[in-house]
């Protein structure tokens, strides 16, 4: 079964909009685990506009499922994850000012940097994943860094799904097959939702984990958080 990791950044965005601690990000993350999710994802950024570094430290001792921390490998981020030691770190090539993740790594250009960072994380016993597009050559260079997994950036699939879902998924099927040939684990995330998730899951071989935040939290406004987590899990069965 493909695991569901819920990205809780949007909960922190809502909290920060008003100040105080409502919603309580830590308590809600524990609820999401209780509702059946197999993991929690956070993506702290340098300006702490949603998840704060203090949230990451508060979450680590109370979570009982997989804890996945995404982010650009700036020194402050690396210091944080080496301190907290989550189960998985997903390295993302985000500019600090970008609104949301919008591209995968150029693993040829950044191979030296990534190899060094991956080595440090794996030396600390942390599983690593690289946020990647579907370019087959770059996936090969990702394997050269020593990473354990890659996370496919699925926004292009989501954008093309309603017009032609077979064409939209084709590059991802090829990428998944290449990842399997390379002996890497496969994750996926970005703009997956209740409409496009099941088709993606059924057609992508070896999919270990999906990370879903924005769509799931939006759906929770209509269906309720517990029911929404169950709806997403149903799409992965």
Tell me the CA distances in angstroms from 69 to 122, 153, 162, one per residue in order.
14, 16, 30
What distance in Å separates the CA atoms of residue 68 and residue 129, rounded to the nearest whole number?
Answer: 10
Q: Find the catalytic residue in 43, 141, 151, 209.
A: 43
Q: Is there a catalytic annotation at residue 181?
A: no
Q: How many Cβ atoms from other residues are within 10 Å of residue 137's Cβ?
A: 10
Give the count of alpha carbons within 13 A of 103, CB side only: 8
Task: State the residue for tokens 């939290």.
Answer: 217
Q: Find the catalytic residue in 3, 190, 209, 235.
A: 190
Q: Find the catalytic residue in 33, 66, 70, 235.
A: 70
Q: Is there a catalytic annotation at residue 209?
A: no
Q: Is there a catalytic annotation at residue 3?
A: no
Phi then psi dihedrals of residue 4, to 5 deg? -105, 115
Structure tokens at 224: 């309720």
Residue numbers annotated as active site: 43, 70, 190
């Amino acid at each position: 079964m493909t695991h569901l990791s819920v990205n809780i950044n949007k909960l922190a965005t809502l909290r920060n909009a008003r100040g105080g601690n409502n919603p309580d990000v830590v308590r809600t993350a524990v609820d999401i685990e209780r509702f059946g999710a197999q993991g929690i994802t956070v993506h702290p950024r340098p300006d702490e506009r949603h998840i704060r570094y203090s949230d990451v430290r508060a979450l680590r001792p109370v979570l009982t499922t997989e804890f996945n921390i995404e982010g650009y490998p700036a020194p402050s981020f690396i210091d944080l994850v080496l301190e907290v030691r989550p189960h998985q770190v997903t390295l993302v090539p985000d500019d600090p000012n970008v609104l949301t993740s919008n591209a995968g790594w150029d693993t040829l250009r950044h191979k030296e940097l990534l190899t060094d960072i991956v080595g440090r994380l794996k030396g600390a016993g942390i599983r690593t994943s690289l946020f990647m597009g579907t370019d087959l050559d770059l996936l090969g260079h990702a394997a050269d860094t020593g990473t354990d997994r890659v996370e496919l950036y699925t926004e292009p699939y989501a954008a093309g799904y309603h017009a032609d879902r077979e064409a939209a998924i084709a590059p991802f099927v090829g990428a998944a097959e290449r990842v399997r040939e390379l002996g890497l684990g496969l994750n996926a995330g970005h703009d997956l939702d209740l409409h496009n998730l099941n088709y993606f899951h059924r057609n992508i071989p070896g999919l270990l984990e999906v990370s879903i935040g924005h769509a799931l939290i939006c759906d929770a406004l209509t269906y309720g958080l517990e029911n929404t987590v169950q709806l997403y899990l149903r799409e992965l069965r």
